A and B are shown apart, each in its own frame.
Chain A
Amino acid sequence: MDLSLNDEQQAFRALARDFLDREAVPHRVEWDRAESVDLAIVPKMAEIGFFGLTIPEEYGGLGGDYVTYSLAMEELGRADSALRGIVSVSSGLVGKSILFHGSEEQKQEWLPQLAEATKLGCFGLTEPDVGSDAGNLTTRARRDGDDYVIDGQKLYITNGTWADVALIFARTGSDGPRGISAFLVPTDAPGFEAREIKGKLGLRGQATAELFLDGVRVPASAMLGEEGTGFKIAMSTLDKGRLAVASGCVGIVQGCLETAVEYATSRTQFGRPLAGFQLVQDMIADISLDADAARLLAWRCADLIDRGEPYGVAASKAKLFASEAAVRAANNALQVHGGAGYVDEYPPAKYLRDARVMTLYEGTSQIQKLLIGRDETGISAFV
C-alpha cells in the first residue's frame, strides 16, 4: 500500500493552495457577509483547472484522476467552501452526469464549456416536499410532439441563479424512482425562473435558489440518458458528489487545524503559550486525528473510483465521517480561540457555519448510516 502522492498530484495541490491563499482567503469573510463570492474568480479558477479536473482532455478538460480531484476539493474547502460548492456542482454533479450518461452531441455541446467555466451548471433534484426521499419527486415532464414540457418547482439549488444549464429531474412516467428522467434545460428557456434564497446559515458565498418551471419546453434531445433512468443517474452522480463533499470537509478540518495551531502557539496566557495547556492540546490532537482519518477515508474512495471498483459505500462513509469531523473540528478550533473564536473575523466562525451545512445536505448523516447499514446487513431499513 502506498499512500504517497505522485509528483503531479503534489504539484497540483501546491498550485491550488498558492492560488487560493492569494485569491480567495483574503476575501472570504467579505464574500460571506455579502452573500456572494466575487464571480470574477470563476474564470481564474478555471485557468488553474478546478472545473476541468475529471473531464477528459477530448472534451476540453484535464483528464485528471480522482485523487487529484479530492485534493482540489480539499484545498477549496480549506479556503472557502462556497467556492468548493460552485465547482463540485457545475463540473462534478452536472459535468459528470453528462460525461457518463450523455450522448456524444450533449458531451460536445456542454463539457468543454463546463470545463472552462464559460458556462455554469446546476443540479435540480430537491423539491419543497422531497429532500432525502428523491424517488418521489413531483416535477413533471410531459411529451408534446418532439418536445417535452416541464412543470414544477425545485428548492435549495446551488448555482441556481448563476447557471446557464440546469440538469432537471422530472417525472415522465409512473410513480416512484423508475418514472423519473433527466433533462438538460437551458436556464434562459421561457418559463424558467430562478430566485435566490437569501439568509443561509453557511455556504453563504454561493447562490442557492428556488427554481420555478412553468411550461418550460425542451426538445426530446435534451433528455440525458434513457427515459426512466433519471433516478439512477442522480444517485450514481451523488455517490461521486459525496466524495467532493467529503474532501471539502477534509479541507475544513485541515483549515481548522492550521488556524488552531497558529493561534495556540502565538497567544500567551498565564505566562505560557495556549498550546502549553493540556486541555488545549487535547482539542488540537482531536482536530489532527480527525484530519487524518477523514482524509484517509476520502482518499480510499477516490482510489476506488480511479481503479474502477465499487465506491458507493466508501463515499457514504467518507461523507458521513468527514462532515461530522468538520463540525467537531470547527467547534474545537473555535474553543481554542476563546473570545476571538466567537468573532466573525477569525476563521473558525465561518468554518463552523459552513461545516454545519455539510452534515445536512447531499444525504444527511442519518441517510448515510442507513446506506452503510444496508450494505453491512443486506437489509434495507429505509422507510
Chain B
Amino acid sequence: MSEQHRSDLEQRVTALLEAHDPATTGRAEFLRARWDAGLAWVHFPEGLGGLGLPRDLQAHVDDLLAAAGAPDNAPERNGIGLGMAAPTILAHGTPEQHERFLRPLWLGEEIWCQLFSEPGAGSDLAAVATRAVRDEPSDEWVVNGQKVWTSSAHLADFAILVARTDPDVPKHGGLSYFLLGMREPGVEVRPLRQLTGEAEFNEVFLTDVRVPDAQRLGAVGEGWRIANTTLNSERVSIGGQAVPREAGMVGKVAAAWRAAPERRTHGAHRRLLDLWVQAEAARITGSRVRQQLAVGAPGPEGSATKLVFARLAQELSALEVELLEEDGLRYDDWTLTRPEKVDFTGRDAGYRYLRAKGNSIEGGTSEILRNIIAERVLGLPGEPRVDKDVAWKDLPR
C-alpha cells in the first residue's frame, strides 16, 4: 500500500476526530460524519462513504478510530448487509439505488438478510422456484415462494432476493434480483432451531409480497450473474477479513493451551503447532487475495480461502474441546434463542465447535467450492450438466 495513501488517510482521520470528538459526539452523529468523510469503507467511491482507495487500507482506518475510542457501526450485526448486499448494490445498482440503500446499510440503521436458498434449491441455486410476476399497472412485482436457512431474517429490514421471472427459459436465464422489504405484508419469518440450540436462521414464507420495480437490481433475467457477485463476496466475507496473527479460532485454542499446562500432551502439542502454521499460512494467503481484490468485485478466487477457513475452524475448535478433556462435555446454553448477531468465535468452546460445522455449508458447501476451484480457477473440464439447456419449467422436480 502506498505511503501517500496512508498519510492522506491518517490526516483525514485526525480531521474527523478533531471535528467530532468521540468523547462528546453521539454515536449516530459520529458515524454519519465518518460516512461523509469517506472513511466508512475506503474502497467505495467518493460520495458513497469511500474514497476509491485499496480495500486493505480500511483496517488501518478502523484501528486508528478504535484507538481514539470512536464508536463503530457494529458490523457483526449486519454481516450480510456489509459483506454481500453492499458490494452487489454498488456493482449493479442505479445511482438512485446507491443513494437510497448504501448509507443506512453501513450505518446499521437497516439490517439485511439473504433470501437465496430454498428447500429445493441450495447448492443448485439457479433452480430457485420463488416466482416474481410483474404487475404492469402498479409497476410492482408480486413475489410468492419459500426460502430457507435465512440467517437474521428475524432482524432484517431488507433482503437481497433471487426469484424466477421467466420459467420458460433454461434455469440460469430466468432469474432476476430484487431488494425486498422484509417488513412488507406477506413476509412471514419462522425460526429454525439448529445444531447449536439457537435459531440463527429461519424459514421465510413469501405470499403476494410486493416489490417496486425501482427495487429490482440489474436487468430482468440478469439475476444469476448478479447473484454470483453476491456469492463471490460472501466467500470473501466468511473468513476472508484482515486479522492479526493468532486471531479468531486459532487464538482461542492457543489461549486454552496456555491456560492449562497440566492438560498438555505431546500429541495435542503437535496438532496445535500443525494447525497454527496452517492458520498463519491461510491468514497471509487471505491478505494476498485481498490485495488482488483491490479493484472491482471479487472473483472465484475467494473460494479457496473460504474452503480452508472452514476446515481450519472445524479442526481447531475440535482441538479446543479435546484440550478441555471432560470439561469439554459442558455446553453453556441450550435455550432456543434468536441471536442478535453471528459470531463464529463467541460463547464457549462447545458452541464454537458446533457453530463451525456450519462453515463448510453456508456460503457454498466445501464440495461446491472444490468444483468452482477446479472449473473456474484451474480451468479443468466441468462436471457433466444434464439440466443446462432445458427450460426451467420442464426440469424434473
Interface residues of A (CB under 8 A from B): 33, 35, 126, 131-132, 155-156, 197, 199-204, 208, 268-272, 277, 279-280, 327, 331, 334-335, 338-339, 341-345, 349, 352-353, 356-357, 359-361, 364-366, 369
Please tell me if B365 contacts chain A, counting CB pairs below 8 Å.
yes
How distant is the Cα of A277 from the Cα of B368 in the complex, in angstroms?
11
Which of B26-34, B119-127, B208-216, B293-301 is near enough to bind chain A? B119-127
Q: Is the CB of B367 within 8 A of A280?
A: yes
Which of B2-10, B153-161, B329-337 is near enough to bind chain A? B329-337
| Given A199-B330, A339-B148, A270:B387 Cβ within 8 A | yes
Q: Is the CB of B395 within 8 A of A271?
A: yes
A contact residues around B365 at 8 Å (CB): 335, 338
Residue ID in chain B nearest A202 by CB atoms? B329
Q: Is the CB of B357 within 8 A of A343?
A: no
Q: Is the CB of B353 within 8 A of A356?
A: yes
Taken residue by residue from 312 to 326, chain B's Cβ proximity to chain A (1 for < 8 Å, 0 otherwise) reads as 001000100110011
Q: Is the CB of B386 within 8 A of A270?
A: yes
Q: Is the CB of B123 within 8 A of A201?
A: no
B contact residues around A202 at 8 Å (CB): 329
Q: Is the CB of B326 within 8 A of A155?
A: yes
How distant is the Cα of A341 from the Cα of B123 in the complex, in angstroms?
14
B contact residues around A349 at 8 Å (CB): 194-195
B contact residues around A33 at 8 Å (CB): 334
Residue ID in chain A nearest B126 by CB atoms? A270
How distant is the Cα of A62 from the Cα of B332 in the complex, in angstroms?
41
Q: How many residues of B are in contact with the other chain, CB < 8 A?
A: 49
Residue ID in chain B nearest A274 by CB atoms? B123
Q: Is the CB of A344 within 8 A of B194?
A: yes
User: Which of B117, B197, B353, B357 has its CB near the most chain A CB atoms (within 10 A)?
Assistant: B357
Instruction: Tell me the smallest distance from the CB of B191 to a CB of chain A, in Å.
Output: 11
Interface residues of B (CB under 8 A from A): 117, 121-124, 127, 148-149, 192-195, 197, 265, 267-268, 314, 318, 321-322, 325-326, 328-334, 350, 353-354, 357-358, 360-362, 365-367, 370-371, 383, 385-387, 395-397
9 closest Cβ pairs, A-B complex: A271-B387, A269-B124, A279-B367, A349-B195, A339-B149, A201-B350, A344-B193, A201-B331, A271-B386
A contact residues around B192 at 8 Å (CB): 343
B contact residues around A353 at 8 Å (CB): 195, 354
Q: Is the CB of B195 within 8 A of A352?
A: yes
Q: Is the CB of A199 within 8 A of B267?
A: no
B contact residues around A369 at 8 Å (CB): 267
B contact residues around A156 at 8 Å (CB): 326, 329
Residue from A131, A268, A327 in contact with B325 in the complex, judged by beta carbons closer than 8 Å: A131
How distant is the Cα of A199 from the Cα of B194 in the complex, in angstroms?
16
Q: Is the CB of B330 within 8 A of A201?
A: yes
How distant is the Cα of A208 from the Cα of B362 in the complex, in angstroms?
34
Residue ID in chain A nearest B385 by CB atoms? A270
How distant is the Cα of A341 from the Cα of B365 in the complex, in angstroms?
12
Residue ID in chain A nearest B124 by CB atoms? A269
B contact residues around A343 at 8 Å (CB): 192-195
Q: Is the CB of B386 within 8 A of A272?
A: yes
User: Could you show 17 A-B contacts with beta carbons less than 8 Å apart?
Assistant: A155-B326, A200-B331, A201-B328, A201-B330, A269-B121, A271-B395, A271-B396, A279-B371, A334-B357, A335-B361, A335-B365, A339-B362, A342-B149, A342-B194, A349-B194, A353-B195, A360-B325
A contact residues around B330 at 8 Å (CB): 197, 199-201
Q: Is the CB of B117 within 8 A of A366?
A: no
Residue ID in chain B nearest A132 by CB atoms? B325
How distant is the Cα of A333 from the Cα of B342 in the complex, in angstroms?
24
User: Which of A339, A356, A366 has its CB near the most chain B CB atoms (within 10 A)?
Assistant: A339
A contact residues around B331 at 8 Å (CB): 199-201
A contact residues around B121 at 8 Å (CB): 269
Q: Is the CB of A360 within 8 A of B334?
A: no
Residue ID in chain B nearest A357 by CB atoms? B329
Q: Is the CB of B358 within 8 A of A338?
A: no
B contact residues around A208 at 8 Å (CB): 329
Q: Is the CB of B332 within 8 A of A199?
A: yes
Inter-chain pairs besides A200-B329, A277-B367, A360-B328, 4 sampled, C-beta below 8 Å: A339-B362, A341-B357, A360-B321, A366-B267
How distant is the Cα of A272 from the Cα of B149 in the complex, in angstroms?
22
Q: Is the CB of A338 within 8 A of B387?
A: no
Q: Is the CB of A364 within 8 A of B322?
A: yes
Q: Is the CB of B124 within 8 A of A270?
A: yes
| Given A335-B361, A344-B193, A345-B193, A270:B123 Cβ within 8 A | yes
How distant is the Cα of A331 from the Cα of B367 in the complex, in angstroms?
14
Q: Is the CB of B396 within 8 A of A364?
A: no
B contact residues around A342 at 8 Å (CB): 149, 194-195, 357-358, 361
Residue ID in chain A nearest B265 by CB atoms? A366
How distant is the Cα of A156 from the Cα of B350 in the complex, in angstroms?
17
Residue ID in chain B nearest A364 by CB atoms? B325
How distant is the Cα of A132 from the Cα of B149 in the complex, in angstroms?
41
Instruction: Tell me the smallest distance from the CB of A189 to a CB of chain B, in Å.
Output: 26
B contact residues around A364 at 8 Å (CB): 322, 325
Q: Is the CB of B195 within 8 A of A344?
A: yes
Q: Is the CB of B387 within 8 A of A331?
A: no
Q: Is the CB of A331 within 8 A of B350?
A: no
A contact residues around B268 at 8 Å (CB): 366
B contact residues around A339 at 8 Å (CB): 117, 122, 148-149, 361-362
B contact residues around A352 at 8 Å (CB): 195, 354, 357
How distant is the Cα of A369 from the Cα of B386 in the complex, in angstroms?
49
| Given A341-B361, A343-B193, A344-B194, A131:B124 Cβ within 8 A | no
How distant is the Cα of A352 from the Cα of B326 in the complex, in angstroms?
17
Q: Is the CB of A360 within 8 A of B329?
A: yes
Q: Is the CB of B124 within 8 A of A338?
A: no
Residue from A199, A269, A356 in contact with B321 in the complex, judged by beta carbons closer than 8 Å: A356
Q: Is the CB of B197 within 8 A of A344?
A: yes
Instruction: Tell me the smallest distance from the CB of B118 to a CB of chain A, in Å.
Output: 10
B contact residues around A327 at 8 Å (CB): 318
Instruction: Tell me the smallest distance from the CB of A342 to a CB of chain B, in Å.
Output: 5
Instruction: Tell me the smallest distance from the CB of A206 to a CB of chain B, in Å.
Output: 12
